[in-house]
Amino acid sequence: RVYVECKPKDGYNVKKVTATDTVTGDTLSVSQSTTDKNIYYFTMPEHPVNVYVEFQEGYAIKIADTKYGKVTASAENADEDDIIYITVKPNDGYALTRLKIETDGGDTVLAEKSSFGTYYYFYMPDDNVTVTATFGIAHKEMPFTDVYTYSWFHDAVQFVYDNDIMNGVSDTSFNPDGTVTRGMIVTML
C-alpha cells in the first residue's frame, strides 16, 4: 500500500485524489484515511503510477449517508463565516429527529432553524464539516389532555394512535384509566 499526504494551504481542501496506472490506463481505487483527512491510500500496481490531487478553495461540506430522507447543502465548500443552508426532506411517514454538524476536528457546529421551518442554516467554521441527519417515524400530534409525556403508558398510546388502532373516548380524552369493553376490543381487532 502506498499513501499520499496532501497538505492544502489555509482556506483550501482536497477535492479529489486519483491514481492512474501509466501502462494500462486503469484508474486505481483511492481511499481516504479514517484518522487523517489529508492522507489517501492505494495499492501500487506493477507499473508506474500518476497521482493527481485536485484542491478547491474553501472548506468542504460533506453530507453523511441518510436513511428515510434526503439532505442537501447550499454549497459543497465554503469560506469561513459563509452562511450555509441545509434543506431536510424526510420520506413520507418520517420526520427529522436529529441534525448534527461536526467539524473534522470534532467540534459541533450550531445550526439554527429558519423562521419558515423549511431549512436550517449555520456559519461555516474554519474547518471541513460533515452534516448528519437522523430520521425517525413521524408521530401524530396527540390531542389527549389526559396522556402526559412522562406517563408510563405514553409510548403505547402514541403507537395505537399513530396506527389508527385507537382514537380515544372523545376528541380530547383517551381515558387511560377507564375500562375497556368488549365492543372496544372488537373495534381494535
Over its length of 189 residues, how does the chain's per-residue pLDDT go in tens digits?
A: 999 999 888 778 888 999 999 999 999 999 998 888 789 999 999 999 999 999 988 888 999 988 999 999 999 889 889 999 999 999 988 888 899 999 988 999 999 998 776 799 999 998 889 999 999 888 888 889 898 888 888 888 888 888 888 888 898 999 988 888 898 888 888
Residue type, 31: S
Residue type, 25: G
Which of 23, 32, 45 has the alpha carbon at shortest distance from 3?
32
Which of 173, 81, 78 has the alpha carbon at shortest distance from 123?
81
Maximal C-alpha separation, the chain: 81
pLDDT tens string 11-58: 788 889 999 999 999 999 999 988 887 899 999 999 999 999 999 888
